[in-house]
Amino acid sequence: MTRDWTPAELMTIAASRALDPDDVCFVGIGAPSAACNLARLTRAPDLILIYESGTIGTRPDVLPLSIGDGELAETALTTVSVPEMFRSWLQGGHVTVGFLGAAQLDRYANLNTTVIGSYDSPHVRLPGAGGAPEIATHCQRVLITLRHRPRALVETVDFVTSLGFGRTGTERAALGIPTAGPQLVVTDLCTLAPEQDTNELVVTALHPGVGRAQVQAATGWPVRFAPEVAETPPPTEEELTVLRELHRRTAAVHGA
């Protein structure tokens, strides 16, 4: 098979396919934003995108550098205050999906964007939580995307910034959190989903050309595979064209 796409492109495209056309999506900056806007520009034109700054129904022509990027407010259907965004929209149950990234993800889909190492004396101080903890608990379901590396997919995150299913996979239910939590993780090698009984992430699909040994070597725990592992469909010509044009416009505007 001739492949004219990169692993990063396939990751973004596979993640975009996980969104339903009628979703109301709380979007994280970076890879989640690329996936959500690709979905909006292709298979889900009515997808409602919400960013943490209070922009609702935004339709950016280029990818925002941050939640404060003027492109979001200028193209939004409306904007509201951040307290109203979280209290009325998010905690009110109006957001169907939260799309997040992270520096670390563990086997029970807990996310770390706070520190690498100990909290009191970290090796790296990360950007922090922002609204991700609330997104992770109040959206009806959560999607996650990140590059597949041993230092990113770790057995136990150094700090639980955003709750997946907890340290043992049972804490989310024990806390009485009614939302479904993380339902899909998309990396540049594969997709993973929580196992029904344990909530441990297992591989459900491999990207074209990726083998099980490659995924295991890039995962920080003894990752298991679902009874039936699919192969991710390759990108379509439309998906690649739209994604590359989106990145071209973004680079032209932001100079990166």
How many angstroms from the chain centroid is the CA of residue 202?
Answer: 17
The tally of CA atoms less than 13 A away on the side-chain side of residue 4 is: 6
Length of the chain: 256
Q: Which of 127, 111, 132 is nearest to 51 (CA)?
A: 132
CA distances from 148 to 26, 109, 129, 202, 253 (A): 23, 14, 21, 14, 29
Active site residue 195: no
Q: Which of 126, 114, 107, 112 is nearest to 202 (CA)?
A: 107
List the alpha helices (DSSP H) in the chain: 7-16, 31-41, 70-74, 82-84, 132-138, 171-174, 212-217, 237-254
- The two structure tokens encoding residue 103: 């520096």
Q: Which of 52, 134, 200, 239 is catalytic?
A: 52
Three-class DSSP category at 142 = strand
| Cβ contacts of 39 within 8 Å, gap of 6 or more | 16, 17, 19, 47
Name the residues annotated as catalytic. Answer: 52
